[in-house]
Structure 1
Amino acid sequence: MKKIIALSFLLFSSTLVSSYATCDSTTEQEALKQFVNEYYIDALANNADFAKIDQGFHTDFMLFGVRNDELWTWTLEQWKDNLKTKKENGEFPRRGKNKFSADIVSVDINGLLAVVKLKLYRGGKYVFIDYLTLYKLDGNWKLISKTYHKVAQDTNKKS
């Protein structure tokens, strides 16, 4: 009887711990989704809000892409310079067919590291697949890199 009680207690405890871990993980995933929408989609892609960008992006952030079969990179400062030029030309805030939105495909968290995969839409048209890498530093998530792929022009619109 003592063995049954002990086994029942162990099973109950492990279920309780597992439920707590899942809840904590789910909460952290939701927080990351909100973070990506606030700092990446809204602040960077749609508004060029430099104060918010500086809050959400690490100073050593790097952007990686491929053009004409060649890898290219931008620092955060290079990207911000590009955004400043576009902002001066009246391209921000983005609206209508130029506004970005995203579907977050997956969030993978391992300790202080997270990778977020998202489909990026411009004016409802699927244009990029992005992989964002983040670290939790001093209790706050920071974007440290983005790697992306430009989607073929004939890809369907967002459903």
Structure 2
Amino acid sequence: MKKFVVMLLCLSGISVLHAGETAGQAEVRTLIEKAYLHGAWNEQNVADMEAGFHKDFAIFSPKGKEMARYEIADWVAGIKKRKASKDYDPNRSKVEYKITQLDVTGGAASARVELIQNGKLIFTDYLSFIKFEDGWKIAAKVYHRHK
């Protein structure tokens, strides 16, 4: 009976993970889904964003020969402003997604995420993560916008 209970507990823990996924990958996947995909995109829940993104997070993109930096504080402020607007449409930012790559090495991780809107691939995002004493945080993003 004891062996059966232990086996049952092990199997229930494994069922939470995607096939072949480690515990670290599962933690990062959960963070992507909660803080990024649902926090920043589908529900625009700034509390989830603030919990999952490091305070020094930034989106990096090219600006001519320079690199533009979009801070998390500015992103959160923009969402708050949009949500307070009388013209706010909660469906405007809804996306479907695919996490096509997820790599974890110790306390560092990266993910490739495809964002799809109205059946069309709109962004390929590359997210970086760092594991701190209080858990994983999204540290940075670079992306490609599909035309």
Give per-residue Cα distances to partners, 1:87-144, cap 9 Å, x unaligned. Answer: 1234353x2x641121011011111000011111123321000000010111511001
In structure 1, the partner of 2:119 is 124
In structure 2, the partner of 1:65 is 61
Q: Which whole-Å CA distance do the structure 2 matches of 1:36 and 1:127 have between them?
A: 17
Counterpart contact for 1:48–1:92, Cα < 8 Å: no
Matched, 1:141 2:123: no
Letter in 2 for 1:34: T
Counterpart contact for 2:124–2:144, Cα < 8 Å: yes
Change in Cα spacing, 1:29 to 1:86, as seen in structure 2 (3 Å) is same
Q: Which whole-Å CA distance do the structure 2 matches of 1:62 and 1:98 have between them?
A: 19
2:110 to 107, 110, 115: 115
Q: Which whole-Å CA distance do the structure 2 matches of 1:46 and 1:103 have between them?
A: 14
Q: Which runs of 5+ in 2 are unaligned?
A: 1-18
Q: Which runs of 5+ in 1 are unaligned?
A: 1-22, 153-159
Q: Please, what is the CA RMSD of the aligned residues?
A: 2.2
- State percent identity of aligned pairs: 27
Of the two, which has the highest radius of gyration? 1
In structure 2, the partner of 1:101 is 96
Give the TM-score, by structure 2 length.
0.76
Q: After TM superposition, list the pairs within 5 Å mapping 1:1-159 onto structure 2.
A: 26-66=22-62, 71-89=67-85, 90-91=87-88, 93=90, 95=91, 98-152=93-147
Change in Cα spacing, 1:129 to 1:24, as seen in structure 2 (3 Å) is closer
Secondary structure at the counterpart of residue 125 of structure 2: strand
Q: Runs of 4+ in structure 1 displaced over 6 angstroms? A: none
Count of residues in Structure 1 that have an aligned counterpart in Structure 2: 128
Q: Which whole-Å CA distance do the structure 2 matches of 1:82 and 1:31 have between them?
A: 27
Compute the displacement of 1:25 (Å): 5.6
Change in Cα spacing, 1:100 to 1:140, as seen in structure 2 (3 Å) is same
